[in-house]
Structures are given as structure tokens and as C-alpha cells.
Structure 1
Amino acid sequence: MIFFLFICFIIILWLIVNLDMNNKTYSIFIEFKNAYGIREGTIVRMRGVNIGSVKNIKMDLNSVLVLGSIKSRHILIPKNSIIETNQTGLLNDIVIDIIPLDKITERDFQDVNVLSPQCFKSKIICHLNYLQGERGLNYDDLVRAATRVSQRFDDPSFFNLFYIFLQNTIDLSDDIFSITLDMSNLLSIFYSILKKRLDFY
């Protein structure tokens, strides 16, 4: 009986370890020029699906280095991907979006292990890879751009230039209309002369 319990304990322990190994996380380093609102716990997404989160942030002299943890080693990210920060939701929550530019096929990445040293030769992002991130959609930038546009419309010099442009366009269209009318008159005269000649013969 004791031997049977011992065997069951070994099998259960093996299953737990194997399950843990199958779902083992891996980490990636992402460098940004600015934090852009990123903090510990910020979601990392790929194709709109939550695949991990930010574990640590370190500020350098010229950049911010983010340590992202990917949930499972089975989540494969192509090296040819755009990594950017975006704002989502009503509260403007920041997320890190990974946008793959290459189409992944199972045949290409069937035997790739992100934790192995051979992974660095493959086309996918491996454990402890160093990546460059950039700023994506930001509502603050949109608000600033809208404010600048509205300020331009309030500027009297802008309206003065716009009025001159409009006046010149109207004058030009009048000239084009008069030229077209003159051409039409000339063509009608030419047609009547030609008709008289043909009738004469």
C-alpha cells in the first residue's frame, strides 16, 4: 500500500513539474524613448489578446527599459514585429501592443523552443531578447493637434490668406468662363462659315 502511494506521489509530482515546464514564462526587454504611462502590471498584447505584462521598469539616461513577461513559452512572436504603446478605454489605460508583420505558419516554428540557445537563429523573439518600442496611438497628441487646428482657424492672418486665395480662385474661374465663352462663339462662327461654303458647292 505504501509503495502504491509513493508511486502515485511520484506521478503527481512529475505531472505538476511537466505542466509547469509547458507553461513556463519567458521575458523580453523593450526599450522606449519615454515611459508613455507604462508601469508595472501594464498589459502586453498581441493581435488584441493579452499575452503578458510588464514586470519591471528601469530608467536610463536616454531611454526607459521595460521587462515584459510573456505568459507561456508556446506564445511565439515574430522578430519582424512593431512594438508600440497605445491608449485604450475611457480611462486611457496604456497597453503595449505587438503587431506582427510576418504571417506565422506552424511548419516554420514547429520545433522552436524560446528558452533554448538555438532560438536566437530563428525568426521569432526568444527569451531575454532586446527589442525597440515606439509610441503609438495617444489621445494627448490628438487633443494637441485638434487644439492647434482650432487656433489656426482663430488666427486673423489665416482667414486673410484664405480670403485672398478664395478671391483669386473666383477671378480665375471668371476668366476661364469668359475664355470658354469666346471659344464657343468662335467655333459657332467658324461652323456657320464652313456650312455656307459647303452649301455653295
Structure 2
Amino acid sequence: MEFSSAYGLKKGTNVNFKGVTIGYVYNISVKPNKVVVLIHVNSSDILIPKNSLIESNQVGLFNDVVIDITLLDNLYSFEYRYVHPSSIQCLRSPFICSNFYVKGYKGLNYDDLVRATTRISQRFDDPRFFSLFYILLQNSIDLSSEIIYLVNYTSYLLFNLANLVILLLIRYLV
């Protein structure tokens, strides 16, 4: 698997497929523009579809890093025939074969969450934000007052118009 950064991966990091641990990181090698991670899958009976999302995620209370493999599309039963991952038939199957090279991505990361939360809190700490928010709130209050006045005036006008229509009907029909 290729990642743009190690994201805290190390030898022994768990590899999960659909929430089940299926293997571990066997080796990590750092290249100039990428990090190549070799994983070991515990059983050759575990077939990982090619159309899967592979992410490095932080989980748990202590921010443990895991590699999560998530199936993007459902496989239909006619596509699922037992294929050994190291056989030549695997190349034409919808599954990842032994020694395949796939791209992994950065998933959930608490450092990014903390950084984003800090930025949001800094925006709320800015006095210009509260000044603009106060202006928006004041304009909303003024606008709602005008709408209430318009509704009251319109209801008064419609009430008097209805009375006038009744008077005209009584005058010309009786």
C-alpha cells in the first residue's frame, strides 16, 4: 500500500476489513515522495475487493492508528468465486491479489480535528466577528418589526375592506 505520509503507522499496526482485524503491517519503507506499507493478511481465505477504500485512521482513547479497508460497492454473488490471492486467476478477478500495489489515504485524524476546532474558536474570538454578528442580529430584529407592522396593517385593511363589501352588498341587494 502506498500512503503520502506514514500518519503514525508502524510495524504491527492492525489492518481491519469491515471492522474485523484481518492482518497487520509487516514492513514500512520510506521513499522520497511516499511511504510504502507491506501488510500481512492472516488468511488466504480473506478476499479484499479492488474497489475498496483504504484509510489510515486514528481510533480509541489513545489515538491508536489502524488501516481500515472499506468496501465501496457491493459484490454480486456471481462475481464471488473462490480465488486464491496468489493465483494467476486472481488478476482477472475483482479482488486484490498478493503483492498488489494499492493507494491508501489519510482518514480520521484527531490532530486535524483539534486544528480545525482551534481555528473555529479563533474566529469566534475575533471582535470583528461579533461586531458583524451584532449588526446582522439588529437588522434581523428591525426587519421582523417591519414585517409585523406590515401584517398588522394588511389585516386591518382587509378587515375594513370586508366590512365595506358587506355594506355595499346590503345597500345594493336589499
Q: What TM-score comes out, normalization by structure 2 length? A: 0.94
Percent of counterpart pairs with the same letter?
A: 51
Moved more, 100-109 or 68-77: 100-109
CA distance in 1, matches of 2:167, 2:82: 90
Q: Quick one: which amino acid aligns to residue 44 of structure 1?
A: V
1:112 equivalenced with 2:83 (yes/no): yes
Moved more, 104-113 or 171-180: 104-113
SS in 2 for 1:130: coil
CA RMSD of aligned residues (A): 1.3
CA apart distance, 1:106: 5.3
Matched ranges for 1:40-55 at <5 A: 40-55=11-26
SS in 1 for 2:38: strand
Bigger Cα Rg: 1
CA distance in 1, matches of 2:107, 2:115: 15
SS in 1 for 2:134: helix
Partner of residue 44, structure 2 = 73
Q: Quick one: which amino acid aligns to residue 65 of structure 2?
A: I
Q: Quick one: which amino acid aligns to residue 90 of structure 2?
A: C
Partner of residue 135, structure 1 = 106
SS in 1 for 2:136: helix
CA apart distance, 1:105: 5.1
Q: Quick one: which amino acid aligns to residue 123 of structure 1?
A: P
CA distance in 1, matches of 2:77, 2:146: 67
CA distance in 2, matches of 1:54, 1:108: 28
Could you list the runs of 4 or more consecutive aligned residues of structure 1 that deviate by over 2 angstroms after TM superposition? 102-111
Q: Quick one: which amino acid aligns to residue 146 of structure 1?
A: T
Matched ranges for 1:32-181 at <5 A: 32-104=3-75, 107-181=78-152
CA distance in 1, matches of 2:50, 2:70: 10
Structure 1: where are the runs of 5+ without partners? Answer: 1-29
CA distance in 2, matches of 1:50, 1:141: 25
Moved more, 97-106 or 35-44: 97-106
SS in 1 for 2:80: coil
Q: Quick one: which amino acid aligns to residue 136 of structure 1?
A: G
